[in-house]
Amino acid sequence: MNIRKYISLTFLFTFLIFLTSCKDSINDSQAGDNVTVSLAMDKGLNKIGSDPIVLDTVKILLKDIKFRQSNGDSSNVKVGPMVAHLNLNGIPTEFAAGKILAGNYDKIKFRLHKPEAGDIISDPEFIAGSSGELRYSVIVKGTYNGVPFIYKSTKTATQEVNLKNYVNLNAEVKTNVTLSVDVNFWFYKDAVVLDPNNIINQNDIDNNIKDSFKKAFRDANKDGIAD
């Protein structure tokens, strides 16, 4: 084959591949996400007066975020594990986004997740030990009676929370849903403070954390208040 023809054909073939990849990229960018999920402190609940527990950092590992319809159908937002940072000033923090089928949804389901073998976690604090044998689902930093503490939960649980009213998700319009968590009573039992440094309290604290996810709602402006 003539060398010029070979070069021309090679260039043409490469150019066609380039056009095809560009077309795919354009299609992908047009697909977009139609739902985001944010995490926020529950604004409807107040801290106990003279609380000896002061929180500085709250990080939660979540997995398998999905929305469910009343007929049982569900659609995944995000499957893999992700770290959700709880903003302690009450402003919701977006931690997941995806594209799901349009429809009316009445529940959000997720997994409070302790890392499993093979999970890739963006934050190294959730896996510790010389061979990674220590794994955590929630990491809380703060002070107890003025003394710094770090509490690490090993709790794993599948949670399902009812959405306040039905949330209609449109395929073309992005909607934010805020998952609200009550952190004010994580370290309390029957109005008695639970020392986060005492291992005896671990089961009660872990169950408080699990049970603190009780509200979820449409929150278009991400102010932590249901629309």
Choose between 36 and 10: higher pLDDT. 36
Task: Say yes or no to pLDDT of 30 above 80.
Answer: no
Q: Which DSSP letter does residue 48 get?
A: P
- Give CA separation, 49 vs 52, 86, 122, 151, in Å: 9, 22, 36, 22
Cα Dmax for the chain: 88
Helical segments of the chain, H only: 3-31, 202-210
pLDDT at 172: 80
8-19 confidence digits (pLDDT tens): 444 444 433 333
Mean pLDDT of 69-83: 89
**The two structure tokens encoding residue 144:** 């107890």
- Give CA separation, 79 vs 2, 12, 113, 225, in Å: 53, 40, 11, 26
pLDDT category at 132 given cuts 50, 70, 90 is confident
Cα(90)–Cα(96) distance, integer angstroms: 18
Helical segments of 3-68, H only: 3-31
Residue spans of the domains in the chain: they are 1-31, 33-218
Task: Say yes or no to pLDDT of 56 above 50.
Answer: yes
179-207 confidence digits (pLDDT tens): 999 998 899 999 899 999 999 999 999 99
Residue 125 phi/psi, 5-degree rounding, is -70, -20
Q: Percent of the chain at pLDDT above 90?
A: 61
